[in-house]
Structure 1
């Protein structure tokens, strides 16, 4: 092992582990989404395979934002061997102007969550008369 490498490891212990687990752009704990606004509605599709939509997926709309939160825990056992998978995910997106959060709908099929938010039609700008005093 080179002296420079030894020095780096001594000065920055655990740096390689940090990149493997905490790098903000890593694929760990990331809900992949796609967004589109067409035909008077805004749609968010989230890739959430293996989640139970009845109890493991939670949606909230507040303050112009839509938050998708999901939790899962699964355990399999067979012939003296067991494995478990667990995790929680959260993703927040900004809703477009005119989003009608009172009429949001959501459906889940084949591991894909699809959330549809109707968009209210933009009203034309109101002309305001200036009164001379």
Structure 2
């Protein structure tokens, strides 16, 4: 199965890749949405210290969020003492729709919810651009005219 995943490379979405690799336990679940030119990524991660337990990095067009979580519960009664630890690192890589400036990214943590706001270019403006067409000598790159290329059988 891993060889299939390696061959498919980036064509497999992260949730599917993690499912196939059996790695859903360390996957940070997030919600993503757009709000007035800003991509908002939110993750419910209660009981953490965001200054010590969260790393957010930007590599190219990918936002990487890593959260370390540790939970400890203790039980004391007449028969003895029991302590349980639950800990792990949860991560998520989110592909951004285009290049962003890391200085514009804002992250906050409130009531157990980590929120990352990323300003993104307007999709309508970024989706298509009209390329101007020039006429005459300015459009020739090689010095060969259309007539010469056609008569030479190159078209």
Q: TM-score with structure 2 length normalisation?
A: 0.61
Match of 2:151 in 1: none
Aligned residues: 112
- Higher strand fraction: Structure 1 or Structure 2? 1
Q: Between Structure 1 and Structure 2, whose CA radius of gyration is higher?
A: 2
Deviation of the 1:26 alpha carbon: 7.5
Unaligned runs of 5+ in 2: 1-18, 144-155
Considering fraction of residues, name the structure with more helix.
Answer: 2
Secondary structure of the 2:25 match is coil
Q: 2:57 aligns with which of 51, 56, 60?
A: 60
Residue 84 (structure 1) aligns with: 85
Distance 1:127 1:100 in 2: 29
Partner of 2:98: 97
Flag the 1:36–1:84 CA change in 2: closer, same or farther, 3 A.
Answer: same
| 1:69 equivalent among 66, 69, 80 | 66
Distance 1:119 1:129 in 2: 32
Where in structure 1 are there 5+ consecutive unaligned residues? 1-21
Measured on the aligned residues, the alpha-carbon RMSD in Å equals 2.6
Q: 1:54 to 1:40 in 2, by over 3 A?
A: same
Q: 2:48–2:69: 8 Å Cα contact kept in structure 1?
A: yes
